[in-house]
Chain A
């Protein structure tokens, strides 16, 4: 965009919000023009059925986590020994394990622990990472340099190994796994938030707000943060998928909740002893993990495209 197409500088201090709105309107108009191309008038869910499916998968597992008893009447902990190691059937859609427990019930109830850990991990990364990125990108100077060097160092250690080091120090359990995975994602959030803040911070409306004497904290919270949030939220969806993978991998390795509490990762590792005879014990819980991660990635790509448009 050439500088001539920019709106004129604010004439009065009251113009600040007005200019910001004009920017937003204009961005909206651009998006609308793109959307009005012929052949694109179908509703979004017809045009992109895979996106609809992805949203449905994530909504379903979230519902599993919130109200598991709606989806299964069977106990995830108590089994019927006579029914042990049965394949998938109408009574047991995912089959039963070596203690006769219904695997579907264990996956549904397991989504609570696994998704709790995932959401907590993403929240930790989102809040801490965004705060670091916001301050670093806005204050610049030494603060920025130090924060970004720390981010570089965190990125130089593979996320899984960083989480494992944190678990060594914190101990085992679902919440500790969540904290360990969350700290591993801080660096990514900080980096994306910083680059967005640098972009937004150069906008005329931020300059105008500053020049008209708005307090720094108000500039940050009312002007910079809302306009920088889009890509960061798209990243949250992406990190949700990565966190599901990391949480279930760490649970698979045995660092999550102790048995008999079900977690997606520990369910898969629990089926390892029956690989030759009971394929469903590892295959079906793993399939659920894969479906959720794939869906989260699909949603993240849609969000990314929207914020990029």
Chain B
């Protein structure tokens, strides 16, 4: 590894750590500064009601979570604990937040991976078909699919699938985590908005790429349509599409919140819903931090992948960074529909 690459890596990892620290600060501000009394909120158990609690019990809980210290001390203590991967204990059941997350994570990772694989296939196929089709009406039909996909409420799609494929025609189980069959409907539901995002960005990239002079050159040299599409255009269209990888991973996590609730699956999403229901502040903070960490890590990986996909981008200082900025600028923000 060259020293330039090592320096670049160190800089990018440093930036990622800074974003994570800022995300920690934002969640701390939201969860501990916004409510007048976090302990009263935690004891309210949802609904935001004021519950009459024994003052001694309040004081004990406050002391247990260090909430009787001045705010800067609380913040520093919380930051220090978080740096040691100690996210505190859940209010509702007293278990360490890290253990609750670790227990739920494999199920959600499986769901997200299955949904992503499906979304990638569907999204790439839709984008390629929409630029490949010669008939105008097929083209517009295919181009209408992604806006439709991001507009459908995820919870509704899930319930429709259950109605059709669990009750009307019993093919797949309606709920639970048991076996591969139970993964199909949740993965399809979660893949709908994600594949739409992928198709949108990739189709736009493909259209741009197909209008470029090098495509003309390739055609003039007698390259087949397939070769022009797959070797020349697709490769260049992948670069702007890569920039939304972080958003897609975020969408998968946020979508899991809804999908796991609809299908009564165990996982990070259901854990988040129950944490918010119980106003379990430490658990909510841990889960939001996890989402931010996944987002930051994905972007880091993508940044390191750019030079592999695009040899024009070198891992050296300004030239590279500006190329990445251009790529980001051309990839327009995607409608992040995860709801």
Contacts and interface: CB of A to CB of B under 8 A. Distances in A.
Interface of A: 149-150, 152-154, 156-162, 164-173, 176, 188, 191, 238, 241-242, 245-246, 248-250, 252-255, 258, 265, 268-269, 271-272, 275-276, 279, 282-283, 286-287, 289-290, 293-294, 297-298, 301
A290 B273 contact: no
A249 B295 contact: no
Contacts of A246: 339
B291 A161 contact: yes
Residue from A161, A173, A249, A294 whose CB has the most chain B CB atoms within 10 Å: A161
A249 B154 contact: yes
A275 to B, nearest CB: 6
Contacts of A301: 147
Nearest to A164: B276
A241 B151 contact: yes
Interface in B266-303: 272-273, 275-277, 279-281, 284-285, 287-288, 291-292, 295-296
Contacts of A253: 257-258, 261, 273, 276
Contact of B22 (A149, A176, A255): A149
B23 A153 contact: yes
Contacts of B153: 245, 248-249, 252, 268, 286, 289-290, 293
Q: Do most interface residues of chain A lie in helix, strand or loop, or is the interface mixed?
A: helix
Nearest to A180: B30
A265 B262 CA distance: 12
Interface stretch (B92-100, B111-119, B159-167, B309-317): B159-167
A169 B31 contact: yes
Contacts of B148: 294
B338 interface: yes
Interface of B: 19, 22-23, 26-27, 30-31, 34-35, 41, 44, 46-48, 147-148, 150-156, 159-160, 162-163, 167, 174, 246, 250-251, 253-254, 257-258, 261, 272-273, 275-277, 279-281, 284-285, 287-288, 291-292, 295-296, 333, 335-339
Contact of A159 (B279, B296, B338): B338
Contact of B159 (A166, A238, A282): A282
Contacts of A293: 151-153, 337
A275 B161 CA distance: 11
Given A173-B48, A275-B163, A154 B26 contact: yes
Residue from B47, B174, B257 whose CB has the most chain A CB atoms within 10 Å: B257
Contacts of B275: 168
Nearest to B252: A158
Nearest to B193: A245
Given A152-B19, A154-B26, A238-B335, A294 B261 contact: no
Contacts of B284: 164-165, 168
A271 to B, nearest CB: 8
B30 A161 contact: no
B254 A156 contact: no
B337 A282 contact: no
Contacts of A248: 153, 155, 339
B254 A172 contact: no
B339 A171 contact: no
